[in-house]
């Protein structure tokens, strides 16, 4: 019977570990890693296909390096380039971890055949219309809102989300152990989930679908990954979406495109996505959850499927701020207008009372007569002549300036009579 990789499950890998110490040495302690699933399946597929045991594969006496290379070449001729590359990597990893380093350099290189895009917001909406089962819907939303890879989402335990979920925060940080962030290979990001995932989590806990035991996984089952892929593929077909769309990884691409559209800083984006391209990102970039939470909230409108215009919340906030500022300015202007009206009314009333008394009219008349007679007074004329000479000789004040100063007698006289009054307004002065 021909070996088929699709027939190999976790149980087969577990049995392989129990039967062969070399496989246990290779895979033990990494049940959630890519190595355990992908490499384990490919090793099992390889030894079944070529009818060889792991111990014979490691024996330099019974299996020469060129013999292993021939078997790898045979697999490459019968399988796709992608599958052949995975088999080659798995066999080399198994041999290296068990001390066998004599295999020649591989000439097999994986060549990506096609680029796959992520979901658009409209496509994701259509897809979710056909995801009705609570746990599958929760998985899809956590995949979309966190940007984590499919198997990383399936590895989430309640303890990873307990802190923020029980605190009632509107964004929940997924706090993995260090091995998820610093192990070799693909890494998890310092990321969060949003309101839709949180609502579904509370509902699933209430319905008893998810345990609040810290060590309990959110998604259980014999083969959660396979069942999830099958369910999402079926939903994708019902929604009549592009067949080339990857059922789960298209969620991660959707998430990363949303972060791009939100224009958050590159360093924060790399930490949230789990991309560490250089030394700075690996060792120096800030990865504190409270620091990254603000950027995630900023990007969430672009992630949220219910928001058609991602910039609408910020636009509405901006308009509300402008409206509040206009209201404040209107209140200030209205208050100033009321104060000015009251002030003018009080001044007009005071001047009317002043002009309505005999003493007031007499004082003003004397001041005006004094100003009128001043210009014809000989002493004043001599004084102004002297001022003109001084102005020409030493740059002193001119008679015109002195005349202007004399005109200040009017308000001064009035202030002597009524110190509480302000100067006479121009319109009343003319009258």
Encode pLDDT of 59-117 as tens digits: 988 889 899 898 888 888 888 878 888 888 889 988 988 889 888 888 777 666 678 89
Structure token pair of residue 325: 């500022």
Query: Would you state the pLDDT for residue 299?
Result: 92
Number of helices and strands in the chain (H, E) = 24, 2
Q: Closest Cα partner for 343 from 413, 411, 422?
A: 422
Q: Are 105 and 66 in contact (CB under 8 A)?
A: no
Residue 162 pLDDT greater than 80, yes or no: yes
Gyration radius of the chain's alpha carbons: 43
Task: Report, as an integer, the average pLDDT of 172-185.
Answer: 87
Task: Report, as an integer, the average pLDDT of 26-48.
Answer: 75
Higher confidence at residue 159 or residue 418? 159
Tens digit of each residue's pLDDT (9 = 90 or more) over 343-362: 777 777 776 666 666 777 77
- Residues in contact with 201: Cβ distance below 8 Å, sequence separation at least 6, in sequence order: 138, 161, 165, 172, 193, 210, 218
Residue 421 pLDDT greater than 70, yes or no: no
Query: Would you state the pLDDT for residue 355?
Result: 63
Greatest alpha-carbon span in the chain: 139
Task: Report, as an integer, the average pLDDT of 5-34.
Answer: 74
User: Residues of the chain with pLDDT > 90: what percent?
Assistant: 36
Burial 288-299 (b: 16+ CB within 10 A, else e): ebeebbebbebb
193 φ, ψ to 5°? -125, 155
Residue 420 pLDDT greater than 70, yes or no: no
Task: Report, as an integer, the average pLDDT of 134-158.
Answer: 94
Task: Report, as an integer, the average pLDDT of 363-367.
Answer: 72
Which residues are paired to 193 by β-bridges? 172
- Residues in contact with 339: Cβ distance below 8 Å, sequence separation at least 6, in sequence order: none
Task: Report, as an integer, the average pLDDT of 174-186.
Answer: 86
Residue 409 pLDDT greater than 70, yes or no: no
Higher confidence at residue 30 or residue 265? 265
Query: Would you state the pLDDT for residue 192?
Result: 96
Band the pLDDT of 226: cuts 50, 70, 90.
confident
- Residues in contact with 237: Cβ distance below 8 Å, sequence separation at least 6, in sequence order: none
Query: Would you state the pLDDT for residue 1?
Result: 40
Length of the chain: 431
Query: Would you state the pLDDT for residue 61?
Result: 86
Residue 193: in which H helix or E strand, if any?
strand 192-193
| Cα separation, 415 vs 395, whole angstroms | 32
| Cα separation, 204 vs 240, whole angstroms | 29
Band the pLDDT of 5: cuts 50, 70, 90.
low
Tens digit of each residue's pLDDT (9 = 90 or more) over 249-259: 999 999 999 99
Question: Any idea which of 147-161, 174-188, 269-283, 335-349 has the lowest mean pLDDT?
Answer: 335-349
Strands 172-173 and 192-193: antiparallel
- Identify the residue whose tokens are 């009818």: 51
Structure token pair of residue 351: 């001047």
Band the pLDDT of 425: cuts 50, 70, 90.
low
Per-chain mean pLDDT for the chain: 82
Distance, CA of 1 to chain centre = 53
Question: Any idea which of 50-54, 306-310, 404-408, 424-428 has the lowest mean pLDDT?
Answer: 424-428
| Cα separation, 99 vs 155, whole angstroms | 30
Task: Report, as an integer, the average pLDDT of 1-18.
Answer: 67
- Identify the residue whose tokens are 């001022």: 387
| Cα separation, 297 vs 300, whole angstroms | 5
Query: Would you state the pLDDT for residue 2?
Result: 47
| Cα separation, 287 vs 377, whole angstroms | 90
- Residues in contact with 42: Cβ distance below 8 Å, sequence separation at least 6, in sequence order: 5, 86, 87, 89, 90, 91
Query: Would you state the pLDDT for residue 144?
Result: 95
């Amino acid at each position: 019977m021909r070996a088929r990789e699709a027939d190999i499950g976790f149980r087969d890998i577990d049995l392989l570990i129990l039967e062969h110490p070399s496989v246990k040495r290779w895979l033990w302690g990494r049940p959630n890693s890519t190595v355990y699933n992908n490499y384990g399946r490919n090793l099992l597929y390889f030894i079944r296909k070529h009818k060889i045991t792991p111990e014979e594969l490691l024996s330099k006496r019974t299996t020469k390096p060129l013999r292993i290379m021939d078997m790898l070449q045979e697999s490459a001729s019968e399988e796709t380039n992608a599958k052949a590359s995975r088999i080659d990597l798995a066999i080399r990893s198994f041999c290296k971890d068990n001390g066998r380093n004599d295999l020649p350099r591989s000439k097999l290189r994986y060549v990506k055949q096609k680029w796959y895009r992520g979901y658009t917001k409209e496509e994701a909406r259509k897809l979710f219309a056909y995801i009705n089962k609570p746990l599958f819907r929760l998985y899809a939303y956590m995949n979309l809102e966190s940007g984590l890879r499919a198997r990383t989402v399936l590895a989430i335990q309640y303890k990873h989300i307990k802190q923020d979920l029980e605190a009632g925060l509107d964004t929940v940080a997924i706090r993995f152990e260090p091995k998820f962030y610093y192990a070799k290979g693909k890494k998890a990001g310092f990321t969060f989930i949003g309101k839709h995932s949180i609502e579904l989590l509370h509902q699933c806990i209430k319905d008893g679908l998810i345990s609040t035991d810290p060590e309990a996984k959110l998604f259980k089952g014999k083969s959660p990954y396979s069942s999830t892929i099958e369910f999402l593929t079926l939903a994708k077909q019902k929604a009549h979406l592009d067949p080339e769309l990857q059922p789960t990884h298209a969620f991660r691409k959707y998430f990363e495109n949303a972060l791009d559209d939100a224009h958050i800083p590159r360093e924060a984006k790399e930490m949230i996505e789990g991309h560490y391209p250089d030394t700075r990102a690996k060792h120096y970039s800030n990865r504190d959850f409270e620091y990254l939470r603000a950027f995630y909230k900023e990007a969430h409108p672009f992630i949220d499927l219910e928001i058609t215009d991602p910039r609408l919340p910020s636009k509405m906030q901006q308009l509300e701020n402008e409206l509040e500022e206009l209201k404040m300015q209107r209140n200030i202007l209205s208050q100033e207008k009321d104060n000015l009206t009251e002030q003018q009314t009080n001044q007009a009333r005071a001047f009317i009372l002043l002009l309505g008394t005999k003493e007031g009219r007499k004082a003003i008349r004397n001041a005006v007569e004094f100003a009128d007679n001043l210009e014809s007074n000989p002493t004043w004329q001599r004084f102004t002549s002297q001022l003109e000479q001084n102005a020409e000789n030493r740059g002193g004040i001119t008679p015109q300036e002195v005349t202007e100063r004399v005109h200040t007698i009017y308000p001064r006289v009035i202030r002597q009579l009524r110190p509480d009054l302000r100067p006479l307004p121009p319109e009343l002065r003319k009258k």
